[in-house]
Amino acid sequence: MQLLRVYFFCQKGFLINQVREKIYFMSIQLDGKKVALETEEMLRERVKALQEKKGFVPILATILVGDDPASATYVKMKGNACERIGMKSIKVELPSSTSTEGLLDEINKLNLNKEVHGILLQHPVPEQIDERMCFDAIDAKKDVDGVTSLGFGRMSMGEKAFGSCTPQGIMRLLHHYEIEIEGKRAVVIGRSPILGKPMAMMLLNENATVTICHSRTEDLKDQISLADIVVGAVGIPKFIQGDWIKDDAVVIDAGYHPEKCGDIDLDQVIERSLAYTPVPGGVGPMTINTLILQTVEACENS
Ligand code: NAP
């Protein structure tokens, strides 16, 4: 009898451990598509309320310079997202020969247009244009894409500002899934003005210990291996190897490439991760969603 009882307990203990291990190792998919869809429902209500109270809906002005097909697709997707929540968008399309002055004129017109609540200048612009000067010409109140130096500075100082949409979208995703940030070691690979740099500042603002890596980083693999939160924003398909990432890390892949993969070789890491963003369907939908969310906020503030 005693023997049977011991056997029973061993079995039970074993089963409990199995269940525990299963729960412990089940990684969370940070589903950007789902969060974006849920947010759209809420935004539709807010747009309706604006229409009823103020008699107008938010308007996003998009500026596309040149004929890059990928940029044209992104602008179209942004216009479609506006339509889905009942907002309006107006398109400004300029030839690839546009000068910095020509583009500044267009931005200034939109800054002065009271009907426009948000301005998006699609990146990248043709080489002859001073992109930074043009981004910085956008009125901070209409900088719903979070690209101005002023907005970056304010955000970095913890002041109110529209965040750059991709990193802001990533933060929203981390918050939605209640991923712990404070005290965690975060490694951001990439330091571009629209992604890596603001990402690092946003994580720092939430008390992560942040390392920024870039093309001159000498011990990239070692840095990544220490990270509790890894953000890949390199622009090279599957550049970050899954086996560089430790078990139970939160893996955020900001990249998206025509091969339908990101900047991280996710296959090698998903099962060992605490949480991960799928590609596609992770960071991408959150970027556009953050743009429309911030445009609605800009209209509410106006
Ligand atoms: P980017 O401007 O080209 O910046 C790439 C960054 O990666 C740079 O800081 C660069 O370092 C760094 N880098 C390049 N090679 C490296 C290497 N061998 N080792 C370490 N770092 C390296 O690109 P981005 O605009 O930030 O975009 C990054 C990725 O995010 C791309 O895959 C892009 O498609 C994606 N993205 C997605 C969205 C979205 O909505 N989902 C939006 C924007 C971007 P240096 O500064 O030293 O050159």
Full set of structural domains in the chain with CATH = 55-144 (3.40.50.10860), 165-283 (3.40.50.720)
Residue 105 has pLDDT above 50, yes or no: yes
Which among 32, 31, 89, 48 is positioned nearest to 289, based on CA atoms?
Answer: 32
Indicate if the alpha-carbon torsion angle 277, 280, 284, 289 is positive or negative. Answer: negative
Active site residue 265: no
- Residues 152-168 have pLDDT tens digits of 999 999 999 999 999 99
What single DSSP character describes residue 244? Answer: G
Scored b (16 or more CB within 10 A) or e, 264-296 reads bbbeebeebbbbbbbbebbbbbbbbbbbbbbbb
Q: Which residue has the tokens 């907002």?
A: 87
Q: Identify the helix (H) or strand (E) that includes residue 120.
A: strand 118-121
Ligand 1 pocket, residues with Cβ under 6 angstroms: 166, 189-192, 194-196, 213-217, 220, 233-236, 254-256, 263, 283-284, 287
Q: To test the ligand 1 pocket, which listed residue (33, 189, 234, 259) has its Cβ within 8 A of the most ligand atoms?
A: 234
- Residues 218-263 have pLDDT tens digits of 999 999 999 999 999 999 999 999 999 999 999 999 999 988 899 9
Active site residue 105: no
CA geometry: angle 88, 91, 96, nearest 5 deg: 165
Q: Name which residue sits closest to atom 31 of ligand 1, judged by CA.
A: 235
- Residues 192-205 have pLDDT tens digits of 999 999 999 999 99
Determine the Cα–Cα distance for residues 1 and 162; give it in Å rounded to an integer. 69
- Residues 132-151 have pLDDT tens digits of 999 999 999 999 999 999 99
Q: And the tokens for 64?
A: 């596309």
pLDDT category of residue 25 using cuts at 50, 70 and 90: low
Determine the Cα–Cα distance for residues 263 and 273; give it in Å rounded to an integer. 16
Active site residue 145: yes
Which among 288, 244, 284, 285 is positioned nearest to 266, based on CA atoms?
Answer: 244
Cβ-count burial of 71 within 10 angstroms (0-12 exposed, 13-18 middle, 19+ buried)?
middle
Indicate if the alpha-carbon torsion angle 270, 275, 276, 278 is positive or negative. Answer: positive
Single out the catalytic residue among 31, 136, 145, 265: 145
Nearest ligand 1 atom, CA 262: 32
Residue 2 has pLDDT above 60, yes or no: no
Pairing outcome for strands 185-189 and 88-94: unpaired
Determine the Cα–Cα distance for residues 53 and 272; give it in Å rounded to an integer. 50
3-state secondary structure of 119: strand
How far does residue 51's CA lie from ligand 1's centre (Å)?
Answer: 39
How far does residue 136's CA lie from ligand 1's centre (Å)?
Answer: 21
Q: What would the mean pLDDT of 270-291 be, rounded to a whole number? A: 97
